[in-house]
Chains A and B, each alone.
Chain A
């Protein structure tokens, strides 16, 4: 089955810890994205990547880091510098970056809670 997987489904972090959220896709999509969703709000873009070894900051990149060493993988690290990390994190991928083929498909999400 083709799709996007995220792990873990639930993650608990202590103050001052870095945590890494996994995102893997087997859709052969070039572009991958990370979003954050807070209760009752839309999605906000954290980082995106169009190709391997290249990624760009989104609207709320502070306190986060990413890597894109393989086409199918785009892990997100939530660092201790992110002051309010409790949220629902969504990974997405698309065939291309914009226009036709720019439609994004989402993984199931990771719910991060800071203790």
Chain B
């Protein structure tokens, strides 16, 4: 049974700060990793994907992958109130396995 674990929330950060989200996975053979953002009552929205070890940056978001440690993270720089949402980590072999999500609240 694949498992994807995320750091328990909620995570509260002041506006302009960095929010750091962590995710670990149990299947060492996993190849692709995704971060989704889900606003309350809405469906998940893909914000980042990463396949290779290292960092991948897209605007204010940076995904970091370390396959040896089975760890993937998401950094949100210059956090804005509009970033307040639940962030879901997902790991894909032939299907996506999702973590339970971390709820982020950005305080104005």
CB distance from A50 to the nearest CB of B (A): 9
CA distance A41 to B98 in the complex (A): 9
CA distance A104 to B100 in the complex (A): 17
**In A39-73, which residues have CB < 8 Å from any B CB?**
40-45, 48, 58
Given A42-B88, A99-B31; A33-B100 close (CB under 8 Å):
no
Given A98-B92, A98-B93; A43-B44 close (CB under 8 Å):
yes
B100 engages A41 (CB within 8 Å):
yes
B32 engages A99 (CB within 8 Å):
yes
Instruction: Give 1 or 0 for each of A84-115: 1 = CB within 8 Å of chain B CB.
Output: 00000010000001111011111111000000
Contacts of B32 in A (CB 8 A): 98-100, 102-103
Give chain B's interface residues, CB within 8 Å of chain A.
4, 31-32, 34, 42-46, 49, 51, 88, 90, 92-101
Q: How many A-B residue pairs have CB under 8 A?
A: 59
Contacts of A43 in B (CB 8 A): 44, 88, 96, 98
CA distance A73 to B55 in the complex (A): 37
A42 engages B98 (CB within 8 Å):
yes
How many chain A residues have a CB neighbour from B under 8 Å? 23
Contacts of B96 in A (CB 8 A): 33, 43, 45, 102, 104
Contacts of A100 in B (CB 8 A): 32, 51
Nearest B residue (CB) for A111: B41
CA distance A99 to B101 in the complex (A): 22
Contacts of B49 in A (CB 8 A): 103
Contacts of B46 in A (CB 8 A): 103-105
Contacts of B34 in A (CB 8 A): 103-104
